[in-house]
Structure 1
């Protein structure tokens, strides 16, 4: 059974500074070496073996070639972090660069908290660009200490967080242990790929009712339509009937494939493509939920949720407009009631009916989407009970569904 992981690369890691000691020819040769390295080890990062969810990818400007994407040993698969089971957090080891991402409002902090709120419990921290600081152990230890304290507060267990010094540009300590260099003098741990392979398998809710959120819909000739998505719970077999919500129609599963390989069945955790018949494509838009007809998910017009507010500039008030990101659904919504402010550690009510929610607060709110969405209670389906809220393209909060009102 596959383990799906996400690579969290803060925006502060995107730009790479050109050294004044390198000529254009030497600089381009260095990039060519890095690209050759990734191509040569393409099988190691094959997404049929390791399934990747990329939250941000690194982009570097190459002289005379504009902007080119050069990910740190990852390949793009999906963009939804809620699909991930484990995560890789990439931080920049250079002076001031790590601090820029780690300060209040930095993306290192935001991505760490977001990954934890969306269900990720295992984390590998790739301390990148160590070659730029001559592989200094003191700097590595400083980053581990600062980040370790924060990740513990964010909810990660110390035993589930591992730190790997590496260089994405030169490939050192990515797929094999460093030998006979400055790193090997003090680092005896695993390389990045070995750490990925050491992630523990996640327990899947196989015994619960079938749920699968549709992330894409298309036709590939013949009869029927093909939908893709991750099975959140339960199992499915060819020949079974599924309910498509919120449309309320039913469809027959004619074929199932996992990573282009045909199969007769699939279970929770699998990313699948299913060919459905006896239903029109207009009834299965992206964001639909395939489920067990005997226990279908209910379309919801209003729900109550516990949210954690991030480092926002404008306080959240009653009637605050947001974009609700839930599984594959992106739906306009309104926070139409602020129920209470909670203690983030104990969950106790601090204040009832607050006038606004400030940054770093935890609260109970009521959310009303513009159209009905198929959500589940967090206590019943953890993977289907999490969501994010955005405003102006920025993630302002994340939370869990605690009660369905309407």
Structure 2
């Protein structure tokens, strides 16, 4: 029996199965990601966390030893990166390509780790892992210091609203745990972070050796200059991002259900704020007003719902609400617009084409959009602004978007769910960009006078025959 199984069995015997399950269910969850430059040891660090905290079962350990003999890259040491790198190409090349998620728990809390790739061509994969994380663990190779990808990943994490950073200076064993090396990298990173929105108080630095285990789960005697806790304890004490209860209520409608003639409900997840039975609400973009009749869940009706809860709402009036609409408080300051300014990360091999029609998905709303202007690009190495007529893979820019219809959107820093979006290629259906709303601009009205038939026909053609690349006549 492995240490993990023994510890679990003993805890169940001590507490009883019901108490054990309740305690485990009520543990707080921390989502984190590892990022940094190529070969900084991200996968090895996660493997070390799992190994030294006894989170590996006997069959996994046996498979690890078998794989280590075939494709291990750690010399005489056990290559713990193989616990995470699951794709054949990753193991053969010794790199991470896809985002790998691993779950584990300690007596204090539960964790979900996203292991993100360090290669520049896989930056788009890293954006996926960062979008849901509370903490970013930035790996820095002690031999090379702060690299281009270190800056790129830090910038993306900051842009995506991550507030807590742990800079793990890895491979300290190779430089004999030299304090001078540690202090220089620390100073270099702080200097770069000053250009971002990262508060120095939110950055923790720690010298580690993921391969040897120093300061990962257990404190190391080789770093007397480091007096803080080992990495796992730092993570156990890190506050998780709570539900967004401070912002106004936002309820994007995911589904409209009508199982019988007497029931019409609107399903979705409350992304921010709270709502109560009897509250006056309005549906956007139509602006029609009603009040909440019921808040329905699988386990019974509620008097109120808070951010993060998935519920079904029924209203006291039969107003027109469709998938993609957003229910807000009747006195909400929320606005709708067909014009946004946003920061986007281009994630497709083919370049962005100004004026080309793409699909956009904001919360549960899907419509069409054109990027009409690249306001400026952002060089992640220097953070200087540049000019461009197009965007290539992994480039980041501030752009202006013209949507074919009005949508509710919030500034990303206020509400991640209604302030973020993806762009989708209309032919391949591939996600080609991820974006964060910087500013909701004033709605632009078309000055042309097309008949209702012409407008509907144009919409029909663009929806069902996207390969024709028909122009949106409302934008002419």
Question: Structure 1-normalised TM-score?
Answer: 0.59
* Aligned equivalent of 2:110, options 46, 55, 77: 46
> Taking structure 1 as reference, are residues 136 and 395 closer, same or farther at Cα in structure 2, changes over 3 Å only?
farther
User: Secondary structure of the residue that 2:248 maps to in structure 1?
Assistant: coil
Label 1:148 to 1:226 Cα distance change in 2 as closer, same or farther (>3 A). farther
Contact 1:213 1:288 in 2 (8 A): yes
Partner of 1:401: 439
How do 1:302-381 residues align onto structure 2 when only pairs under 5 Å count? Answer: 302-305=338-341, 307=343, 318-319=354-355, 324=360, 326-327=362-363, 333-337=369-373, 356=389, 365-370=399-404, 372-376=406-410, 381=414
State which of 268, 272, 281 in structure 1 corresponds to 2:309: 272
Shift of 1:212: 3.7
- Quote the Cα distance in structure 2 between the aligned partners of 1:200 and 1:29: 26
**Residues 127 and 165 in structure 1, CA contact (< 8 A), matched pair in contact too:** yes
Match of 2:228? 189
Deviation of the 1:169 alpha carbon = 6.8
What is the match of residue 7 of structure 1? 33
**Structure 1 residues 288, 6: CA separation in 2 closer, same or farther (over 3 Å shift)?**
farther
Q: Is contact 1:93-1:143 (8 Å) kept?
A: no
List aligned pairs for 1:33-72, cutoff 5 A. Answer: 41-46=105-110, 56-57=114-115
> Any idea what the Cα deviations from partners look like across 1:336-389, whole Å, max 9, x if unmatched?
245x55999xxxxx99xx7736798865x431235543213579x565774466
Structure 1 20/211 Cα, relative in aligned 2: closer, same or farther at 3 Å?
A: closer
The structure richer in strand per residue is: 1
What displacement does 1:308 show?
7.2
Find the aligned partners of 2:152 and 2:347 in 1 and give their Cα distance. 8
* Unmatched segments (≥5 aa) in structure 1: 33-37, 60-77, 345-349
| Higher alpha-carbon deviation: 248-257 or 113-122 | 248-257
- C-alpha distance in 2 between matches for 1:178 and 1:295: 51
Which residue of the other structure, out of 124, 136, 140, is the alignment partner of 1:88?
136
1:160 to 202, 211, 214: 202
Corresponding residue SS for 2:327: strand
- Do residues 18 (structure 1) and 72 (structure 2) align? yes
State the SS of the aligned residue for 1:146: helix
1:217-253 CA distance string (max 9 Å, x none): 699x998768454533x32235646545457786644
Change (3 A) 1:172 1:245: farther
Given the superposition, is the C-alpha separation of residues 28 and 341 from structure 1 closer, same or farther in structure 2, using an over 3 Å criterion?
closer
Higher relative contact order (CA 8 A, sep 6+): 1
Match of 2:52 in 1: none
1:163 is paired with a residue whose SS is strand
CA apart distance, 1:189: 1.6
Question: Which of 168, 173, 178 in structure 1 is aligned with 2:219?
Answer: 178
**8 A Cα contact 2:281 2:328, kept in partner:** yes
Specify the SS of the correspondent of 2:187.
helix
Distance in structure 2 (CA, Å) of the matches to 1:329 and 1:263: 26
Cα deviation, residue 188, structure 1: 0.8
Deviations 1:278-336 (A, max 9, x none): 699x9664x65332244384543x21415477899988664156665645667653112
Say if 1:377 and 1:403, in contact at 8 Å, map to a contact too: no
User: Aligned with 2:370: secondary structure?
Assistant: strand
CA contact (8 A) 1:80 1:327 kept: no
**How many angstroms apart in 1 are the aligned matches of 2:242 and 2:131?**
14
Picking from 247, 269, 291, the partner of 2:328 is: 291
Partner of 1:62: none
Going by fraction, where is helix more abundant, 1 or 2? 2
What RMSD in Å do the two structures reach over aligned CA positions? 5.4
Q: Cα gap change, 1:230/1:27 in structure 2, threshold over 3 Å: closer, same or farther?
A: same
- Aligned residue for 1:9, secondary structure, equals strand
Q: Provide TM-score, normalisation by structure 2.
A: 0.52
The total of aligned residue pairs comes to: 343
Matched, 1:231 2:271: yes
SS at match of 1:147: helix
